[in-house]
Amino acid sequence: MYRRIKLIYLSLIEIGTIFRLIKETKDSQNPIKFSIWFLQRILGFNRFVYWPVHFTSVIANYKNIYAGIDTSPGYSPGCYIQGLGKIYIGDYTQIAANVGIISSNHSLTNTKEHNISEVNIGKYCWIGMNAVILPNVVLGDFTVVGAGSVVSKSFDEGYCVIAGNPAKIIKKLKKEECKTFKNKNEYNGYIEHNKFNEYKAEFLNV
């Protein structure tokens, strides 16, 4: 009970800064909203995750997950982000609803054991609705994953559209036509980007 009261007290302290974050991220791809913050910090849905998460999404082992600038896996509803192994997601990568990102699988011969691996997703990627990214996958920058795809192998060169089960390249993108951008105010979730390395070193395993 005391712990819960303490958490609520600390969350109330955040109200002093939450409206600034709302204002400074309103033009971003994953804007911080009071409703998401309230469900997360006050009511406890994914309370300790450092980026905004929809209350229907599940984030497992957030300390093993690196979420880049303006990248919030699970911001859309129904996602499952499983960080038993490490997951790295680059800046300005967007993830649609009902996406699964899986960093480990059960052993084929002993379902009590997991084979731990990693997932690496680059910058400026787009993961379409109902897509599943499986362990050991590397996706390079500007990889677009079609809705409903199952990605079981790497496309580390990026600059492509992949789709299907298993996913394969259906279109290559011209690097010179792919536009990068930066937000005026850069945040890794709720944390100012210029303070994120300090946070990462203290609290994360990535």
3-state secondary structure 65-99: EEECCCCCCCCCCCCEEECCCEEEECCCCEECCCC
Residues 91 and 143 in one domain: yes
Residues 129 and 162 in one domain: yes
Task: Transcribe 23-69 into DSSP letters.
Answer: HHTTTSSS---HHHHIIIIIS-TTTT-SS---TT-EEE-GGGEEE-T
182 Cβ contact list (under 8 Å, min separation 6): 69
Residues 34 and 63 in one domain: no
Q: What pLDDT, on a 0 to 100 scale, did the predictor assign at position 9?
A: 52
Strand bridging mode 160-164 / 167-172: antiparallel
Which SS3 state, helix, strand or coil, does residue 102 take?
A: strand
- Smallest Cα–Cα separation from 61: which of 38, 77, 85, 78? 85
107, with CB counted inside 10 A (0-12, 13-18, 19+), is exposed
Residues 125 and 201 in one domain: yes
Residue 131 included in any domain: yes
Residues 59 and 131 in one domain: yes
Give tens-digit pLDDT for 102-128: 999 888 898 888 889 999 999 999 999
- Ramachandran angles phi, psi of 111, nearest 5°: -70, -5
Residues 37 and 76 in one domain: no
Give tens-digit pLDDT for 73-99: 999 999 999 999 999 999 999 999 999
Q: Which of 33-47, 149-163, 169-183 has the lowest mean pLDDT?
A: 33-47
* pLDDT of 7 strictly over 70: no
Tally of structural domains, the chain:
2
Which amino acid belongs to residue 5? I
Domain that holds residue 105: 54-174+195-206
Rounded distance, CA 54 to CA 61, Å? 16
What mean pLDDT is predicted for residues 178-187?
97
Residues 67 and 39 in one domain: no
Known active-site residue 106: yes
